[in-house]
Chains A and B, each alone.
Chain A
């Protein structure tokens, strides 16, 4: 489709802006003025509406497509939470109003939402306290790692390393490195869990923390998790829980009870806030009692009279990590979702998420290799290695799924499985949808011997075929230029 910039017609306008109603006709001194206007499109409101409506139709989305992306928890995003997030009482609140009138009396509603969300998340995860400030999962990780650093610094030592398993999300080692740590990678054992002997060997008194996802990216809940936590604690390291996969265990296990000291959650995954085409997310961080003092400022406090206030009196806090209190409207959507579901609803989430994943796993193993074939949690990983021998890759299968209106699973991740497809159906999908997916995957497996060209040429139903990624990175074209 033509770019909005190419639809520009000199002199066309899209929005009527009120004229100034004041009598001052001043200008900025020339020295401070812009020389040339930006080449923004000159289009009508209908031009804009039609352009972006048509672009919206060129996407797969949860509302229109099955979207079994592993580790992304693409569950249905309820409509009523959107409606709540759009209430003027929430959208129109300036974040600095708590700086006026006695610390928060003007923002009692939003402060209450944040406070109550923190309490619910603490109970769900078995943590003492939460901060909602982190703006995405990776931002939560960085916050968590900085809390690990603050904890050790406070204890008078600066440890050097963070341990992550080789199956971890890429954000884990990246967050550790950016916070100033060196990363130790431990490999995965035959059982699909972090190799515990290698872990023991690598653990030493310079290890600051251990970052784990549980269940891990293979969808396996490590039955020896408590043992790992005990080992880490005995050597003085803290345990960090990457909550990307919490959807598997809500109400079934709590990171706090498993021995984790710090946890981040992804409200845009487990708690049904939409992914927004890549964001905004929300990555709140919870900690055990002894670490509360390190949480970012300001904290939300409940006063004795039941009102809420911002509390800056945390001298050991790591400080500010965001401009304000987090992605408020995302937090609000997650809160509304939790209030709606309640206790049994939340437990139902993990049960059906795990049921759906195992149903797919047991049905797909007839057609694909499953390297760690056992009861899984909310996701599992298949390998296209069998088909690879006939020249068909995970990418080919992925593109064939697109032609069948199904968004592909996460491909080539985790890195430890060759030709990996990581499949997470989420609890909101029906048996018919899963059966349809199984049928398409079976067809794909059969086509890989019968008519492999159909797979290699896919997708054919989209506005463009497979795009040349090498060309994109080599002949960089990252913006439109006026001709």
Chain B
């Protein structure tokens, strides 16, 4: 049991070889008074029983709702080949590829992933992954502080609220000054940002599309920030980059994002994929593992983990980050996903997302009491103003079979009547129309 192969006879032989009488003798350093005061765990079950037990628990999740919730995490179709390939145990039961010669498959896959992220964002170099979009943004923030030697960060409040809160958690003992500039369901507030920019500013943090779905061209902000010697960090939604202006094209210094949309299931929040790409001059200040090309004595090309002198196992308290385990398997899924899509597929996917959201906006316009916010273009998610509390509407829509959006009042003060609606390629015309009809019915009640 317990996947343990030892027969009683083998245990006896091994104890004899060790020179002890019993397994208990091996634990003699743990004195009696240090033994567990309690170990109240139920006895085990068979494989069949555990599967049935957890299957029943899984039925308690409302996964049957038609999903219009996004808010940074999207219900995209995952091609079967992504599961099939990332489900190969030669990948998923391997460890970090520190021993390069017997990990060439992994190392090459990471090198390819780094390339795909650079291509997607138009940046110079990427690392092998970070935990999630939020921790990637925190790492970017610390990196900007290291590069500039400054300690003030300006964040646009169109950046995901949870991500901003995470920044405050992580830096609560570090004397870093944060200034937030306001956003109301539109683009970044230029004047507010420029007012905060000064020669103490390490970085400006932006998000595109922002939390309200608004698409922006941050070119002017990048220019102003650079004039003040500050870096620009942009958090992006990778699928949108099939059609959206890239962070590289507008001159961003550090790009991060949540890679969940690149072939990862929603899976109640994880595992996800934090990605990071930077300008090449900052590569030695970047956190996380990086794969690089090299050669053996015979000149054969191979890949290794490189620039390890930045990392905790070498530099300990002076490392650029404490990160060790990352999200390698999720990065593998992302590069497989992007390879299956190719440039044309990614563009088409993004365009379909965009068009379906535009269609949904048009359909919503037919409900007189609902106002679709149009202060800026959007990608596949947009903000609507309801005639009453969005929480209440959302709850009633659940009864009709819809997860109809994210009630913005949960994260933003004074936005109790606002709903954030995401429309991915998986939502059909019929679902969108019926959604609108149900919403109309709920609002008429």
Contact = CB atoms under 8 A, between A and B. Distances in A.
Given A20-B355, A100-B394, A319-B165, 14 more contacts: A45-B81, A55-B106, A83-B51, A87-B55, A96-B69, A100-B395, A177-B322, A278-B325, A322-B166, A340-B50, A402-B99, A430-B5, A465-B297, A466-B296
A396 interface: no
Given A24-B358, A49-B84, A146 B300 contact: no
Interface size class of A (residues with CB under 8 A): 35 or more
A173 B292 contact: no
Interface in B1-60: 1-6, 10-11, 13-15, 17-20, 23, 25-31, 33-47, 50-51, 53-55, 57-60
B41 A346 contact: yes
B158 interface: no
A229 to B, nearest CB: 11
A284 interface: no
A330 B324 contact: no
A178 B322 contact: yes
A420 interface: no
Residue of A31, A108, A174, A479 with highest tally of chain B CB at under 10 A: A479
Given A39-B119, A40-B116, A176 B317 contact: yes
Contacts of B328: 276-280
Given A109-B57, A113-B57, A322 B135 contact: yes
Interface stretch (A199-207, A247-255, A285-293): A247-255
B162 A323 contact: yes
Contacts of B289: 278
Contact of B298 (A347, A465, A471): A465
A375 B94 contact: no
A465 B270 contact: no
A55 B301 CA distance: 14
Interface string A443-483: 00000000000000001001111111101110011111000
A321 interface: yes
A56 B105 contact: yes
A445 B60 CA distance: 57
Interface residues of B, number: 207
Given A37-B347, A53-B88, A3 B108 contact: yes
30 contacts: A15-B79, A23-B359, A34-B243, A34-B249, A42-B342, A45-B340, A52-B336, A58-B103, A59-B104, A88-B63, A92-B266, A93-B63, A93-B267, A112-B57, A123-B38, A123-B40, A135-B270, A136-B324, A138-B324, A139-B135, A170-B316, A277-B106, A281-B325, A320-B162, A323-B133, A329-B265, A354-B23, A427-B3, A464-B301, A479-B115
A179 B34 CA distance: 31
B89 A43 contact: no
Interface string A411-434: 001000000000000011111000
A137 interface: yes
B241 interface: yes
Contact of B269 (A77, A283, A325): A325
